[in-house]
């Protein structure tokens, strides 16, 4: 199936399909349903320096063609991720995995990335400067080009593995932030994280989510994500992982035409846990239908002419 | 956990806004009473988690209340319709802890998973006593079904329109039991937590994203660490629950 191959920051992927961080745990829940080695790779649950319980519940609200979450980076902390979660993941996944990292200060990001940089099975560090569900960190690094540049620079100087910066759509100009990251040596960009949203319960007349607002994801945001990938592709020369509402092989092809080298699948994993397998299996037929010989050749194809 | 397509065998109203649906399909993934299934409903993004009331090698019985648009769609389904469902979710109740005379306490739509539990306890030679609480006579269901299993059954209604007037607590206070199992609204749990004479297991409810442990949408803190209600729960031991007031 070499026609599905793509190269992401110098590492070959059998296909561009990557479950997105926070929607796939550490992989082993999904390994009950299918052999997850068919995936390009997977981005594991966002990891921070120390353990975090996250936000109060309810953390989830349903929307038309999507959902809002306000989990707040619940994770056992980098030590336990390394000592407990990654060994379990290793039993069901042989490929290089993508480590997703969050922090509340530049030192946090650097500490966690350095720890994960030493782990063989990790191929890439996906640095999340775009979590909308935590205060005093997370997204605040992703909404200002200078702050985004500082995180990128600090992490890049501390690690050897490729650094992919995950960007938020909750900004006026995502292109300027993307360029700031590229200028400081980012090896790639992931976009988009969730869009800030909220729902109100008509019975209680109060916000559905305990934290009031959260990150909106799912098929409803696909056109916004696609537009942002298209804009960023025009402005940078580093690979982009496109994500935001991808639900089918057709969406993957469309996102790659906009400029994505690979695609992350997020919210859809939560409602259709077989979605990544389905997309990988559907890709050859969809490529045949649209006269695509190999996926690598279509990256950014919509920009030509 | 397994994902498959199930066919509706029947779907009937058994109390006010409460429906009983029998689904035909693969039940291999169900390992304990108190587990739940997560149902995909056309037109709605998130699945609907519903507890398993009863099951055998080819069918699953669920009892659900129409509380919103998704369950309203379910209530209009008919024999032959199909549903995409994730089955075998959550931990379920542990019957090995029951002792000889377990007490089962159900409140409203928390009653259904206790039926499958009662059936298994009886099959294991135990003598369950069942206390069911509802708001009003219109809401009462499954009293006869529990009796048919051979359990002693008490029913209380908040407005006194059926059975004993009041809450389950007043009935429970007169009973002796070796262990307890419960499912129902949290105010009922809080009242129980103050008066129960033995250890027991509580089954919790929370808004879920995925229902199988991937999204961390339904986490809670316990004395034995953070748990996902959908994965390490929904059933928790009385001794590990932190009751936040």
Which among B1, B210, B226 has CB closest to A270?
B210
Determine the pLDDT at residue B100. 96
Residue B159 pLDDT exceeds 70: yes
Determine the pLDDT at residue B127. 97
Question: How many Å is the Cα radius of gyration of chain A?
Answer: 18
ipTM: 0.92
The first and second tokens of residue B27, run together, are 């039940």
The first and second tokens of residue B28, run together, are 């291999």
Residue B160 pLDDT exceeds 90: yes
Domain that holds residue A242: 2-303
Domain ranges of chain B: 2-89, 95-240
* Catalytic annotation, residues of A: 131
Determine contact, residues B199/B97, Cβ cutoff 8 Å.
yes
From CA A33, how far away is CA A242, in angstroms rounded?
A: 25
Determine the pLDDT at residue A305. 59
Shortest CA gap A88–chain B (Å) = 15
Determine the pLDDT at residue A134. 72
How many CB pairs lie under 8 A apart between chains A and B? 89
CB distance B40–A269 less than 8 Å? no
Shortest CA gap A296–chain B (Å) = 30
Q: What is the assigned CATH class of domain B2-89?
A: mainly beta
CB distance B212–A269 less than 8 Å? no
The first and second tokens of residue A40, run together, are 């390009």
Q: What is the pLDDT of residues A22-64, one digit of tens each?
A: 999 999 989 999 999 999 999 999 999 999 999 999 999 999 9
Which of B67, B68, B210 best tests the A interface by mutation, with the highest count of A CBs <10 A? B210
Average pLDDT, chain A: 95
Q: How far is CA B109 from CA B50, B62, B64, B202, B211, in A?
A: 10, 11, 7, 14, 19
Q: What is the pLDDT of residues A234-246, one digit of tens each?
A: 999 999 999 999 9
DSSP summary character for residue A84: I
Instruction: Give yes or no for A24 touching B (CB within 8 A).
Output: yes
Residue A130 pLDDT exceeds 90: no
Residue of B nearest to A70 (CA): B217
Question: Which runs of consecutive H residues, i.e. helices, occur in chain A?
Answer: 28-31, 78-80, 86-92, 106-117, 145-158, 174-183, 222-235, 249-258, 267-271, 275-289
Task: Give the domain B95-240 fold.
Answer: Rossmann fold (3.40.50)
Determine the pLDDT at residue A304. 76
Buried/exposed code over A271-285 (b: 16+ C-beta within 10 A; e: otherwise): bbbbbbbbbbeebbe
> Nearest CA to A130 among A50, A228, A39, A62?
A228
From CA A223, how far away is CA A182, in angstroms rounded?
A: 24
State how beta strands A200-201 and B164-165 pair: unpaired
The first and second tokens of residue A259, run together, are 């400029």
Task: Read off the pLDDT of each residue in A179-184 and give the average, rounded to a whole number.
Answer: 98
> Would you put residue B25 in left (φ > 0), alpha (ψ -120 to 50) or beta?
left
Q: What is the pLDDT of residues A271-285, one digit of tens each?
A: 999 999 999 999 999
Which of B2, B217, B228 best tests the A interface by mutation, with the highest count of A CBs <10 A? B217
* Global pTM value: 0.94
Task: Read off the pLDDT of each residue in A8-23 and give the average, rounded to a whole number.
Answer: 98
Q: What CATH number did the domain enclosing A226 receive?
A: 3.20.20.70
Which residues in chain B are closer than 8 Å to A23, comparing Cβ atoms? 210, 214-215
Determine the pLDDT at residue A138. 62
Residue of B nearest to A33 (CA): B2
Shortest CA gap A135–chain B (Å) = 18
Determine the pLDDT at residue A209. 96
Question: How many residues in total does chain A contain?
Answer: 305
Residue B231 C-alpha from the chain's centroid: 15
Q: What is the pLDDT of residues B209-239, one digit of tens each?
A: 999 999 999 999 999 999 999 999 999 999 9
Could you tell me the pLDDT band of residue B183, with boundaries at 50, 70 and 90?
A: very high
Determine contact, residues B168/B107, Cβ cutoff 8 Å.
yes
Q: What is the pLDDT of residues B134-155, one digit of tens each?
A: 999 999 999 999 999 999 999 9
Shortest CA gap B216–chain A (Å) = 6
Determine contact, residues B238/B201, Cβ cutoff 8 Å.
yes
Could you tell me the pLDDT band of residue B126, with boundaries at 50, 70 and 90?
A: very high
Determine contact, residues A190/A241, Cβ cutoff 8 Å.
yes
Residue A140 pLDDT exceeds 90: no
Phi then psi for residue A156, to 5 deg, are: -60, -35
Q: Which residues contact A13 (CB under 8 A, 6 or more apart)?
A: A5, A6, A7, A40, A41, A262
Determine the pLDDT at residue A100. 98
Task: Read off the pLDDT of each residue in B34-54 and give the average, rounded to a whole number.
Answer: 97
CB distance B47–A71 less than 8 Å? no
**Beta bridge partners of residue B107, listed in sequence order:** B133
Percent of chain A, pLDDT > 70?
98
From CA A192, how far away is CA A220, in angstroms rounded?
A: 13
Task: Read off the pLDDT of each residue in B148-169 and give the average, rounded to a whole number.
Answer: 97
The domain tally of chain A equals 1
DSSP assignment string, A222-276: HHHHHHHHHHHHHH--S-EEEESS--SHHHHHHHHHHT-SEEEE-HHHHH-TTHH
CB distance A60–B209 less than 8 Å? yes
């Amino acid at each position: 199936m070499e026609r599905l191959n793509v190269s992401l920051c110098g590492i070959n992927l059998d296909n561009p399909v990557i479950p997105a961080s926070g929607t796939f745990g550490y992989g082993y829940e999904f390994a009950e349903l299918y052999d997850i080695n068919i995936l390009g790779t997977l981005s594991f649950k966002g990891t921070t320096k120390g353990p975090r319980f996250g936000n109060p519940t309810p953390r989830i609200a349903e929307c038309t063609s999507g959902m809002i979450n306000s989990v707040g980076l619940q994770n056992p902390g980098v030590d336990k991720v390394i000592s407990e979660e990654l060994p379990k993941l290793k039993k069901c996944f042989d490929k290089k995995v993508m480590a997703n990292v969050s922090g509340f200060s530049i030192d946090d990001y650097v500490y966690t990335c350095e720890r994960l940089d030493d782990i063989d099975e990790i191929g890439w560090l996906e640095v999340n400067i775009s979590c909308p569900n935590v205060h005093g960190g997370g997204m605040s690094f992703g909404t200002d080009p200078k702050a985004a540049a500082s995180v990128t620079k600090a992490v890049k100087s501390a690690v050897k593995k490729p650094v992919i910066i995950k960007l938020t759509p909750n900004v006026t100009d995502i292109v300027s932030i993307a360029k700031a990251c590229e200028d400081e040596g980012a090896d790639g960009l992931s976009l988009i994280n969730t869009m800030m949203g909220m729902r109100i319960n008509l019975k209680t007349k109060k916000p559905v989510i305990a934290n009031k607002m959260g990150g909106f994801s799912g098929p409803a945001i696909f056109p916004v994500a696609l537009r942002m990938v298209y804009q960023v592709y025009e402005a940078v020369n580093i690979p982009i992982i496109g994500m935001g509402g991808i639900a089918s092989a057709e969406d993957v092809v469309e996102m790659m035409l906009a400029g994505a080298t690979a695609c992350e699948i997020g919210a859809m994993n939560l409602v259709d846990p077989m979605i990544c397998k389905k997309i990988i299996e559907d890709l050859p037929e969809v490529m045949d239908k649209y006269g695509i010989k190999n996926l690598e050749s279509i990256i950014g194809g919509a920009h030509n002419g | 956990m397994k994902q498959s397509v199930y066919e509706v065998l029947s779907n009937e109203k058994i109390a006010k806004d409460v429906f009983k649906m029998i689904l035909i399909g693969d039940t291999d993934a169900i390992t304990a009473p108190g587990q739940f299934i997560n149902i995909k409903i056309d037109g709605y993004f998130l699945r609907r988690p519903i507890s398993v009331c009863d099951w055998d090698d080819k069918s699953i019985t669920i009892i659900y209340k129409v509380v919103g648009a998704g369950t309203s769609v379910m209530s209009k389904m008919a024999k032959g319709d199909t549903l995409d469902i994730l089955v075998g979710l959550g931990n379920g109740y542990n019957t090995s802890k029951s002792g000889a005379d377990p007490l089962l306490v159900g409140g409203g739509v928390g009653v259904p998973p206790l039926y499958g539990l009662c059936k298994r306890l009886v099959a294991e030679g135990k003598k369950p006593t069942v206390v069911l609480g509802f708001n009003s006579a219109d809401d009462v269901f499954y009293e006869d079904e529990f009796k048919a299993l051979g359990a002693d059954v008490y029913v209380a209604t908040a407005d006194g329109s059926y059975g004993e007037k009041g809450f389950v607590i007043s009935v429970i206070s007169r009973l002796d039991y070796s262990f307890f199992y419960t499912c129902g609204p949290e105010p009922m749990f809080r009242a129980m937590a103050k008066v129960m004479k033995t250890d027991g297991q509580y089954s919790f409810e929370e808004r879920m994203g995925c229902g199988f442990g991937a999204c961390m949408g339904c986490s809670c803190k316990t004395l034995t660490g953070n748990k996902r209600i959908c994965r390490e729960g929904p059933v928790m031991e009385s001794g590990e629950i932190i009751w936040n007031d």
